[in-house]
Amino acid sequence: MSGKEKALWYVGALVIVLYALLPVAWIISLSLKAESDLANKSFLPTNATGSNYSGIFSGDGADLFLPALRNSIVVCLISTLIAVVLAMFAAYAIARLEFPGKRLVLTSALAVAVFPVITMVTPLFNLWRQIGLYDTIPGLVIPYLALTLPISIWTMSAFFRGIPWDMEQAAQVDGATSWQAFRKVIVPLAAPGVFTTAIIAFFIAWNDFVFGISLTSTSRAQPVPAALSSFTGSSYFVQPTGAISAAAVIVTIPVVLLALVFQRRIVAGLTNGAVKG
């Protein structure tokens, strides 16, 4: 590319980055403003304060935020682990085996992945209350699998199709069983794809709001996105904007760290999955 074209690409990339980071910067600014400073329309706080952060960790909001943070971590890790393990076996069968309805399975997984979540809430709410899963950790893990498992199957099947079939056959010729060939040959080769799928599934579960607000009501199982809607101000007429902004910043940090630390693995996994299939 010529120098002018490179300059245009850099300018375009800079505009996109600024557009994406502006809401994050605005939330960070709000989280550093005192309650009396929230009416100030300036971007930067007049007197930066950490009272909003101390409030959600040791103040009035700690009893609501800390249990919700724990619930989110537990629920997201469990649902991600189950989704990745189940998707690994399902994707292997789809990529390696021939059976009737294989295309239907992939199509159904994609259809469920884009299915409106709000349509599932009311039936689940009634069913969960009847069988005792309402406001419980398992009552959130199961619906989260409906979000993470279909996209995990769809994504991971592309990675398994990209693995040469000859390598598994060679392991079986050397005396390995089908399970040993899968565990010692296929899984290590598909590790970038499995890791990428796990990160995507974790992000989907971490950001869910509809299931969290509809299927929980107390700190026993309520995740962070739902708990943020329950924050209260110092009085009835005061909006807890600063506390909500501080909690939103804290919740965003794990996602940003995962994306930055494992950026190379995610890109490598997505690239490997796009080679074939």
Give the C-alpha separation, 9 to 3, whole Å.
10
Report pLDDT for 273. Answer: 47
Return the HEC string of the chain: CCHHHHHHHHHHHHHHHHHHHHHHHHHHHHHCCCHHHCCCCCCCCCCCCCHHHHHHHHCCCHHHHHHHHHHHHHHHHHHHHHHHHHHHHHHHHHHHCCCCCHHHHHHHHHHHHCCCCHHHHHHHHHHHHHHCCCCCHHHHHHHHHHHHHHHHHHHHHHHHHCCCHHHHHHHHHCCCCHHHHHHHHHHHHCHHHHHHHHHHHHHHHHCCCHHHHHCCCCCCCCCHHHHHCCCCCCCCCCCCHHHHHHHHHHHHHHHHHHHHHCHHHHHHHHHHHCCCC
Residue 20 phi/psi, 5° resolution? -75, -35
Query: What are the CA-CA distances from residue 33 to residues 42, 83, 240 (Å)?
Result: 11, 40, 11
Kindly report the pTM of this predicted structure. Answer: 0.82
Q: How many Å separate Cα 57 from the centre of its chain?
A: 23
Q: What whole-number distance in Å separates Cα of residue 158 and Cα of residue 125?
A: 34
Contacts of 194 (CB under 8 A, 6+ apart): 84, 88, 156, 159, 187, 269
* Residue 136 main-chain phi, psi, to 5 deg: -130, 160
Q: Report how far residue 15's alpha carbon sits from residue 7's, in angstroms, rounded to the nearest whole number.
A: 12
pLDDT along the chain (277 residues), means of 10: 83 91 89 80 81 81 86 94 92 82 79 82 91 92 91 84 80 81 82 85 90 89 86 60 86 83 66 48
**What integer pLDDT is reported at residue 102 of this predicted model?**
76
Long-range pairs for 226-231 at CB < 8 Å and ≥24 separation?
226/68, 227/64, 227/65, 227/67, 227/68, 230/64, 231/61, 231/64
Tokens of 34: 């005192």
Please give the pLDDT value at position 237. Answer: 52
What's the confidence (pLDDT) of residue 260?
A: 80
In order of start, what are the domains of the chain with their CATH numbers? 59-273 (1.10.3720.10)
- What local confidence, expressed as pLDDT, does residue 153 receive? 87
Q: How many residues does the chain have?
A: 277
pLDDT at res. 173:
81
**Residue type at 226 in one-letter notation:** A
Q: How far apart are the first and last CA of the chain?
A: 31
